[in-house]
Amino acid sequence: MNRQRGQAIVLIAIMLAVVVGMAALAIDGSRAYALRRDLQAAVDSAALAAADNLQQTGSYTSAEQAATTIFASNLRLYGSPACAPAYATPGASPLTVTCSFGDGTTLTQVVSALGAQGSQFRFTATRSLQLQFAKILTNGASPTLNGSSSGGVNNLLYTPTVAALDQAGCGGAGGNAISISGSGTLSVTGDVVSSGTITLSVAGIRVAGDIYARCQAAVAGSVTSACYPSGATAPCSFPDVAGATRSGYRFIDPGYPPPTVVGGAQGAPSATVVLFAGIYAAIPNFGGGHCWFLSGGVYDWQAGFSNSNDFVSNELKPPDEPSVGNNTVRATPQFWSTNGVQCDGAFQVTKVTGPRDIPIGMWSFVVTSARTDTYNGLSYRRESAPSMCEQVNLNNHFDDVQVAVSNVPGATSYNIYAAPPGNGCGGPFGLAANLAVSGAVLNSNTSPCPNVNGNGCSLGNESIVLSTQLSAPFAPNALAAPGVVGAYPPNGESSPLQSGLPNQNPARGPGAAGDRANENNCETSGGAYATCPAAVTPGAVVFYMPSGACVDVTNAGDTFIFSGYQYDWLSVYGPGLGHPPANTCSSTFGAAGNSAYIGLIYMPAGTVTIPSAYTFEAGSGGLMADLLVFSGAMPTISMNLGFAPVPPAAKLTG
């Protein structure tokens, strides 16, 4: 009996070890699983936080800091970590930063700038587990758990400059998704993505970005990979990265929803220069050598859009645009003077006898065009960059100043800015008066007009005599808000993209700085100037092309339009298969000398042909169609993500 009792004690001891082992597995194993799960969730959150922060701020330092902060918060690590080296921007080689926390947890970030493939954040984290029961089964050491994750953002593959959705040429299907013929070299900044094949015939292609041809290891013909983002010729110096040709990716239609048409039925264009958004049941007759200004909104061209000899735009420009760097010289060419269409306007100042004295000396003047556009029932101010400078010398009692303006398309008034004697054309200028446009501006109203530098005018004229407006205490006031007497004018225009083209608009600036009239102008939903991006781009337009409505712009007409934030930067919209009935038209976007579609041309079920080198002469939000054909002289297409639909959010890549 005693022997049996001794055997029971041994059995109990053995069973106790098994029970402890099972408890270790159950308790410490579940703790390890939970810690590993939390660790993985923390590095996933860090990867997304870094990529999202970079997309919002453009700062790698801020992104890396945000990743560390969210990682620590998720693991309830409240002490500040020691990070080495310091947060920074990666160079040609990836940047590695390791942060150590007080409990021994480490987070290692490897940050890479990959050019057109965007930015990648790779994270590895380690944390030790303090064992409870499992210590008796080990040598006392604490196991180390690991987690890893990767986040990517700003890969141009998902926001390409040129994209064809058709799988033509792949899997035995006939045809080609992108056909490039004609003369010269198609120059693209950004990615070219084709779900089918790309073929070159005589013409070449130069891409500062990546080429994705789904079923082609290489595109035959003259293909040059340049440096992104500068567009320089390879070899590239960081931050430039050379592009490459990649295969195997099928681009899927993003399925953008159609814009909402707010305006009512509109008649055919007549003599009135300004057109209004709404529904145009008949195809417009843009072929008489005239200019047309589009007020902001959605244009539903139900029968199509055709332009064979006119100039159509929503750009608000001043009369007498100045040469960049010298505002006493008139720029050549003027924006509204293209292909024989002379709508650029001018202004002049002359001395007249008036009712009262104003300070004598050489006065200097510039003029801006102004108008108000509406969106969602609210009014938004637009004011162009300043004109060239004109001067007049007042040297007698009762000398006053007459300002005469030949109208430019779209202006409903002109702000007149004056620089008192002693300032000169270098300014500063202060707002002195506003000159309203009387009545509708007509293409047929050609006389009388002020004849400045031999221009004459084609759209009628306005004039005003300034006397009390220039009397004391008038003075330019840098602190005055836009529209208040004495306020400074908007920033001046910037240099043309290339020789022979008109000036570009001022760049974007904070608040009321920069562009106040066109694609670089941003305002809040309440109509206050704002730093881009913002809710509204005043004056933005969208061409809505329903099923059966084709675009037919020949190489004898010009169309220069910009979209805006309220329309997700869709400049031309044709519904795809996801929003039936789809528009399967074959559309042509030609140009005579100065055309641009600032925003995305989106016709995912149709064929788009580009037959002119003068199309897309401004920053573009991209070109997306079922099939693409480039013929004639090859254009230059430059992607600007600031004029493109909202990019995809940051995503986990590993």
Q: Where are the beta strands (DSSP E) in 59-132?
A: 82-84, 95-100, 106-113, 119-128
Task: Tell me the C-alpha to C-alpha distance, in Å, between residue 563 and each of 351, 504, 570, 644, 654.
Answer: 42, 16, 6, 9, 36
- d(CA 521, CA 402) in angstroms, rounded, equals 31
pLDDT tens-digit map of 356-376: 789 999 999 999 999 999 999
Q: Mean pLDDT lowest for which of 171-180, 339-348, 557-566, 603-612?
A: 339-348
Distance CA 126, CA 148 (A): 9
Q: Which residues contact 609 (CB under 8 A, 6 or more apart)?
A: 586, 587, 588, 589, 628, 629, 630, 631
Q: How far is CA 236 from CA 193, 225, 226, 229, 232, in A?
A: 22, 10, 8, 10, 7
CA distances (Å), 65 to each of 112, 322, 346, 505, in order? 15, 46, 54, 36
Upstream peptide bond of 333 is cis (omega within 30 degrees of 0): yes
Residue 445 has pLDDT above 60, yes or no: no
CB proximity list for 184: less than 8 A, separation 6 or greater? 203, 204, 613, 633, 634
Residue 439 has which token pair?
């009545």
Q: Is the pLDDT of residue 131 over 70?
A: no
Count the Cβ atoms, other than its own, within 10 Å of residue 633. Answer: 17
Q: For tokens 């109990």, name the residue.
A: 12
Q: What is the pLDDT of residue 638?
A: 86
Q: How far apart are CA 155 and CA 496, in angstroms?
A: 29
Q: Residue 605: how many CB atoms within 10 A of its CB?
A: 23
Residue percentage of the chain with pLDDT more than 70: 91
Cis peptide before 575 (omega within 30 of 0): no
Q: How many residues does the chain have?
A: 654
The domain ranges of the chain are 24-154, 322-470
Contacts of 631 (CB under 8 A, 6+ apart): 181, 182, 609, 610, 611
This prediction's pTM: 0.90
Q: How far apart are CA 473 and CA 54, in angstroms?
A: 49
Per-residue model confidence as pLDDT tens digits over 46-80: 999 999 999 999 999 999 999 999 999 999 999 99
Top-confidence range, 227-231, 267-271, 496-500, 543-547: 543-547
Residues 6+ apart with CB under 8 A from 402: 349, 350, 351, 352, 463, 464, 465, 466
Q: Please state the separation of Cα 133 from the chain's center in Å.
A: 59
DSSP string, 471-505: STT----TTSPTTSTTPPPPPPPB--SSTTSPPBP
**How far apart, in Å, are the Cα atoms of 190 and each of 111, 204, 604?**
22, 16, 19
Mean pLDDT of 527-531: 93
575-585: pLDDT as tens digits: 999 999 999 99
* Model confidence at 453: pLDDT above 80: no
Averaged pLDDT, 6-17? 66
Give residue 136's pLDDT.
55
Q: Which among 368-382, 436-450, 629-643 has the top mean pLDDT?
A: 368-382
Q: Which tens digit of pLDDT belongs to each residue from 233-292?
A: 999 999 999 999 998 899 999 999 999 999 899 998 888 999 999 999 999 989 888 999
Residue 17: per-residue pLDDT? 62
- For Cα atoms 269, 345, 563, give the angle at the middle one, nearest 5 degrees: 55
Whether residue 450 is predicted with pLDDT greater than 50 in this model: the reply is no
Contact between residue 166 and residue 627 where contact means Cβ atoms under 8 Å apart: yes
C-alpha torsion angle, residues 181, 185, 189, 191 (rounded to 10): 40
Residue 136 corresponds to which amino acid?
I
- As a whole number of angstroms, the distance between CA 439 and CA 180 comes to 48
Query: Residue 447's pLDDT is what?
Result: 47
Please compute the mean of the pLDDT values over residues 629-644 and round it to a whole number: 91
pLDDT, position 75:
94
Confidence of residue 559 (pLDDT cuts 50, 70, 90): very high
Q: Which of 81-85, 135-139, 150-154, 186-190 has the lowest mean pLDDT?
A: 135-139
In the numeric block, the tokens 């010009």 are attached to: 558
The pLDDT value recorded for residue 499 is 86
Residue 203 contacts residue 186 (beta carbons within 8 Å): yes
Q: How many CA atoms lie within 13 A of 435 on its CB side?
A: 24
pLDDT at 357: 81
Per the structure block, which two tokens stand in for 13? 């001891």
Residues 509 and 5: their CA atoms lie apart, in Å, by 91
- 449 confidence band (pLDDT: 50, 70, 90): very low
Provide the mean pLDDT of the chain: 91
